[in-house]
Chains A and B, each alone.
Chain A
Amino acid sequence: MCRELDGEGIFYDVATDTTCRLNETAMFIWTLCDGDHGVDEISERLAARYDVGAERSHRDVRDTLDHLGSLGIVSSGQGPVL
Chain B
Amino acid sequence: MTTLSSGLPGVAALLRGACDRRETVAVVTEEGPFHFRIGAVSVSVRCVDVEAMREFRRLYAAYAQDEPVAGAIKVDVIRTRDGRSMRRRYEVWGDGVRRFTLWNSESIAPHIEWAINWQIMLFLPRFYLIHAGAIEIDGEGVIMPAAPGSGKTTLTAGLLGRGARYLSDEFAMIDPETLRLHPYPKALCIKEGSFEVLGELGVRASERPIFRKGKKGSVVLVRPDELGGEPVSAGCPVRHIIFCKYAEGTTPSIAPVSRADGVLRLVQQSFTFLKFRTLGVDLLSNLVRGARCYELASGPIEETRELVLRTVRGG
A interface list, Cβ under 8 A from B: 1, 3, 5-6, 8-10, 12, 14, 17, 19-23
Contacts and interface: CB of A to CB of B under 8 A. Distances in A.
B264 A14 contact: no
A1 B278 contact: yes
Contacts of A21: 258, 260-261, 263-264
Interface string B262-292: 0110010000001001100110010011000
7 contacts: A3-B263, A5-B285, A5-B289, A6-B260, A8-B261, A19-B264, A23-B260
A68 to B, nearest CB: 15
Contacts of A17: 274, 277
Give the contact-size bracket for chain B.
10 to 19
Given A5-B288, A5-B289, A17-B274, A22 B281 contact: no
Contacts, number: 45
B258 A6 contact: yes
Nearest to A22: B260
Most interface-central of A8, A10, A17, A21 (chain B CB within 10 A)? A10
B285 A3 contact: yes
Given A3-B285, A5-B288, A21-B264, A12 B278 contact: yes
B245 interface: no
Contacts of A10: 260, 263-264, 281, 285
